[in-house]
Every structure is written in C-alpha cells, then in structure tokens.
Amino acid sequence: MATSGVCSLALVIGAVTLFAQTPPPSKPSPQPYVEEDKPPLSRNPIIETGSEGHHLLGDFGGQRTRWAERGVHFGAGYIAESLGTISGGTRRGNAFGGLGQFQLELDLGKLVGWQRGYFRVSSLWTHGSSPSGRNVGDELIVSNIDAYDSFRLYELWFEQGFCNDRLWLRAGNLLADTEFGTSEYGGLFLNSGFGWPAFISANTLNTGPAFNVPALGFRVWYEANEHWHFAAGVYDGDTFDSTSGDPHVNPNGLHFHLDSNQGVFVIGEAVYHPNRGPKTTGLPGAYRAGIWQHNKNQIGQGATATPNQTYGLYFGANQLVWREPGQKKGENQGLGLFFRSGGSPADRAKYEYVIDGGFNYAGLIPGRDDDQFGVGIVFAKHSKHLDTDHEMVIEASYRMQLKPWWIVQPDVQWIHHPSGNNSTPDAWLVGLRTSITF
C-alpha cells in the first residue's frame, strides 16, 4: 500500500508539473529508433550496445564485457565532418568540424545492489570552424555538431526508477533535447533544424538545455502503459549563465549558477506509441504533443529584448509505414515518415512557427541492410514583427554503416533565404561526415 501510494502521489505531481505551466489564453544509431524492441513498461536509461567487441578498439580481451556485466560501461566516440558551400551563402568555402565524446555509465543495481539506480557522466570536445558562421549566414545551422571550441563537462546525472520501472526520476546536469520534442527518423540528418527544434531553440534564452550546454534540472518520466508515456522537466533558465550568450562565462561546463533573474525553463510532453506491446503485429511509431515555457525569456524583437514570459506548443509524429517483406518484428528495414510542427506567440518569439518533415528508408540497397537514406525539409517562419520573412532547408543524406563501429555519411543541403532575407543568396552545400565508436 505504501509503494502504491508513493507511485500515485508521484503521478499526480508529474501531471501537475506537466499542465500547471500552461499559459493563459531539442545519438546517431545504425537503425531508426522506433522503440519497438524495448521491454514493455521498461525504460532503462543505459542501453547496452550488444557485443562490447563492436568497437574500433575491440573488447580488450573480454574486459569490456566483464565490466558491463558488473554495471560499468565506458563509451567514447569521435565525429569529423567537412561541409563545403559550393554556391550562394556569404561566400564559397569549406569548413571542418569535429566532436569527441567520452562517457561513463553505471548500473548501480549490478555494481553495488542499488536497484534501478543509474549514473552517467560525460565530457564533450567540440572544435573546428562553423560552416554557418563562416560561409552560409543561416540561422537554422547546417551542422548539428557546430559549437564554440571547448572541452567541457557534459551530462552529470543520477536516475532512480520506481513502481516496477514505470516511474523514473532524474536530476543533475541534464539535456532536454534527447528526451523532448525528438524526431527519431529526423535524427538521420546533419542540419540542426531536424534535432532540437527551432520552435524551441530559437524562441528561448540561449537555446535551452540542449547541445552543447546542459542545464541543472529535474525530470520525471512515467510509463502509463504499453502505449503511453508522460514526461516533464524543470531546468535552469540560462544554460550559458550569460543572457548575451557569452561562451566564456561557462567555457568548460563547471560554472553552476542559479539565479531568479535567469528564470526557469519548463517542458512537458505526452507520447503515444502504437503497436509497442509484445503481442502487437502492426508497424511501430511515436506521436507526441508538448508544451514549454520560459518565465523570463529575453529573445524579444532585436534591440528591444526585455524579460518576458514566453511559451510554445508542438506536435510530432514518427511512423514506419512499410516494412520490407521477410522482416520480423524489431527488424525495421523499410520506409518511415516523420513530421513536427510548433509555434510561439509572434510578439515574443523569433519564429512564429516551424515545420519539418520527410522520410527515412533503412536498407534501400540490397545487401546494405543497416544503411539509411532520407530526404527532409524544414520551414521556419519569422515573427511578423521582424523585417525578415522565413528560412527553409532541404537536405538529402545517406548513412553507410561500413563497420559496426564506423559510419560514413555523404550529405547535400539547400538553404533558402539564409537568415530569412533576400540579401544573402540561397546556398548549396555538399559534405561528408564520418563517425567512429572506440
């Protein structure tokens, strides 16, 4: 009875957090993530990667496997890319960018007997030149690893599960873009507009708790049943600790500061997963609706920026619509579609609304079952109070899984109305990204 009461109370608190903020009238995987292979009602935040030998450096003679069996998982990877502007933009040229990441994950149940307890700490190394800032002049950002040069503490959190893995509470230095407003099929693309959505990132202070700067915060996640989950998070309102976005204030992720003047960023989401149960035979998908709010936003309209509550609503859908013949449940070669849309009041936002969508096909070429090909589009409408109009991106990308630990991805992008005006010509970019898991 006590456990049931705690779970019921936690559910009420989660619901209040999710809806009370309603105002008055943001890692590449070989296959699209569709959540079909997860155990029902289970949400283990640490996903073992199968064979520990599926890394460039191997299994260390079985040592990595033994560590994982004891609840200790080390992860490291590196992404390198070259994106060239071949026409339009602010100038022609090539830009190189790199991202390195290291993380340590602990399953405390396996390690010390603390059941349903998990811990993660990670670091991030971003370096190189910005293709958007150097050659294109766009706002949606053509590369989702584009960030100021730094070596920094990234995630640092503890998570505890309750109620037979139905309720999960996480606290620490958190990212919201990995859990809210996500687009599983859109994760194929390089342009940032397909990641943490611009209807949040451009309309809140310093993009909110997302790559490449997490925020101190608290998140609750509730698996209501096989088909529904609800989540809500409360985060520090200024991840940079600088309303002007000065990266030198918190250059290494070690500057933790909470201030009432920074405000609070709150987000809540409900997600429906059709065909997720063990007995279902239909195609997997995810449909989400959410709301977010920043109580002291300072986006404003140009030089008139003042602290002002802002908020937004959004909807998203990911659906596998065709599975290749002979595929079993959990084997998702075939065609998937995605769509997202969100907006904020025009008097306190850069973008009134943003829409993105497209398709993703896994295993298009015979014998290349783990490859993915996709085409996506993002349309971002500027506020009617601004002098600019809109920006649009069309991207085509093909991700090749050459080894379990090695991905190569050629990419083409067309940027229409960079920064939302006619003064900068439409830009064409071609690029290549490679990703290695050590």
Q: Could you read off the pLDDT of 48-78 as tens digits, one per residue? A: 345 666 888 888 888 988 998 999 998 899 9
Rounded distance, CA 242 to CA 326, Å? 54
Assign domain 2-437 to its CATH superfamily: Carbohydrate-selective porin OprB (2.40.160.180)
Q: pLDDT per residue over 339-365, tens digit each?
A: 999 999 988 889 999 999 999 999 999
DSSP string, 15-36: HHHHHTTPPP-----SS---ST
Query: What's the pLDDT at 321?
Result: 96
Q: Where are the domains of the chain?
A: 2-437
Query: What's the pLDDT at 26?
Result: 34
CB-side exposure of 147: number of CA atoms within 13 Å? Answer: 24
Q: pLDDT per residue over 364-375, tens digit each?
A: 999 999 999 999
Non-local CB neighbours of 230 within 8 Å, separated by 6+ positions = 14, 15, 18, 221, 222, 224, 268, 269, 270, 271
Query: What's the pLDDT at 329?
Result: 74
Query: In 3D, which of 217, 149, 141 has the Cα closest to residue 179?
Result: 217
- Are 315 and 306 contacting, i.e. CB atoms less than 8 angstroms apart? no
Q: Is pLDDT of 301 > 80? A: no
Q: pLDDT per residue over 193-247, tens digit each?
A: 999 999 999 999 899 999 999 999 999 999 999 999 999 999 999 999 887 888 8
Average pLDDT for 105-117:
95
| pLDDT band per the 50, 70, 90 thresholds, residue 7 | low
H or E element that contains 65: helix 63-69
Mean pLDDT score across all residues of the chain: 86
- Three-class SS state of 43: coil
Q: Is pLDDT of 161 > 90? A: yes
Query: What's the pLDDT at 298?
Result: 59
Checking DSSP bridges between strand 334-343 and strand 215-223, what pairing results, if any?
unpaired
Query: In 3D, which of 358, 285, 269, 276 has the Cα closest to residue 318?
Result: 285
DSSP string, 173-210: EE-STTTSS--TGGGG-SSGGGSS-HHHHTTSGGGSSB
Q: pLDDT per residue over 8-53, tens digit each?
A: 444 433 333 333 333 333 333 334 433 333 323 233 444 434 566 6
Residue holding tokens 């008097």? 347
Q: pLDDT per residue over 176-194, tens digit each?
A: 999 999 999 999 999 999 9
Query: What's the pLDDT at 326?
Result: 84
Average pLDDT for 374-391:
94
Rounded distance, CA 292 to CA 277, Å? 29
Please give the share of the chain, as a percent, with pLDDT higher than 70. Answer: 85
Structure tokens at 259: 């201030």
Query: What's the pLDDT at 245?
Result: 83
Non-local CB neighbours of 55 within 8 Å, separated by 6+ positions = 64, 404, 405, 437, 438
Rounded distance, CA 285 to CA 165, Å? 21
Q: pLDDT per residue over 238-249, tens digit each?
A: 999 887 888 889
